[in-house]
Amino acid sequence: MELQSAIFNEWRHLFKLDPDREISDERLDAICMSGTDAIIVGGSSGVTFDNTVDLMSRIRRYEVPCALEVSSEEAAVPGFDHYFIPLVLNTDKAEWLAGRQIQALRKFGAFIPWENTSAEGYLILNGDAEAAKLTSATSSLDAEGVTAHIYMADRLMRLPVIYMEYSGKFGDMELVKRAKSMVTGARVFYGGGIDNADKARAAANAAHTVIVGNIIYDDLEAALSTVEAVRHVQQQ
Ligand code: 1GP
């Protein structure tokens, strides 16, 4: 099985939709028809089987690829194009790195579509984010700390994706660039605080893939402007 040829290797721009948040048909239509490379479904809390199935079936009316970030075993829903399993790398609480995941694998390991499933090594870098509080993440990493985590994720664990997560806040692009310059196999995802075309461009210059979340719900036009902005940034 060749993980490195995965579907997401060509993805530059993603919209992230939260099953626990309301979105109108009109807004969803605009997002799915925006030209984004894919939709990723996920959230830090309130994600259930029912609200995930509901959102997936609405996105499925469109051709856009759709991936699920499986953050709780109850919300593992079949029918997505790809599955990401988050492993939080910058926490002392092992349950978020491999504990809950192993509990889920005990039950569902034999049913997982492995060829469409990838681990995502998360670095949660905004201490105010819900995910940081939930997982007790050590979010204040300096350049040396990020470097060590990238060695761990990319060289030792050989994870296919490293997700630099600043959810709710625009992050330190120098750290993101550093991560991208270091990786040998992983793809660097960046998400957090992208709410206009300029920030989308800056993030697309720093990371392989940029993820736009909150602004979808707050300012649809601004969200849509990020698609075009990312498309015009050449991948280095
Ligand atoms: C959240 O990284 C994503 O998991 C996107 O962040 O919601 O701040 O855009 P925002």
pLDDT above 80 (res 3): no
Q: How far is the CA of 165 from the centre of ligand 1 (A)?
A: 7
What are the tens digits of pLDDT across the range 189-231? 999 999 999 999 999 999 999 999 999 999 999 999 999 999 9
| Run of H or E residues at 40 | strand 38-41
Any atom of ligand 1 within 6 Å of the Cβ of 213:
yes
Of 11, 14, 16, 224, the residue with max ligand 1 atoms within 8 A of its CB, to mutate for a pocket test, comes to: 16
Q: Is 122 annotated as a binding residue?
A: no
Tens-place pLDDT, residues 152-179: 999 999 999 999 999 999 999 999 999 9
Query: Tens of pLDDT along 20-59?
Result: 999 999 999 999 999 999 999 999 889 999 999 999 999 9
Query: What whole-number distance in Å separates Cα of residue 195 and Cα of residue 224?
Result: 10
Q: Do 149 and 175 touch, CB atoms closer than 8 A?
A: no
Whether 192 is in the pocket of ligand 1, judged by its Cβ within 6 Å, is: yes
User: What CA–CA distance (Å, rounded) separates 183 from 192?
Assistant: 20
Q: Where are the domains of the chain?
A: 13-232
What percent of the chain lies above the pLDDT cut of 70? Answer: 97
CATH of 13-232, one of 3.20.20.390, 3.40.50.620, 3.30.365.10, 3.30.300.340: 3.20.20.390
- Record the pTM: 0.96
Q: Which residues contact 202 (CB under 8 A, 6 or more apart)?
A: 173
Contact 159, 188 (CB under 8 A): no
Nearest CA to ligand 1 atom 9: 213
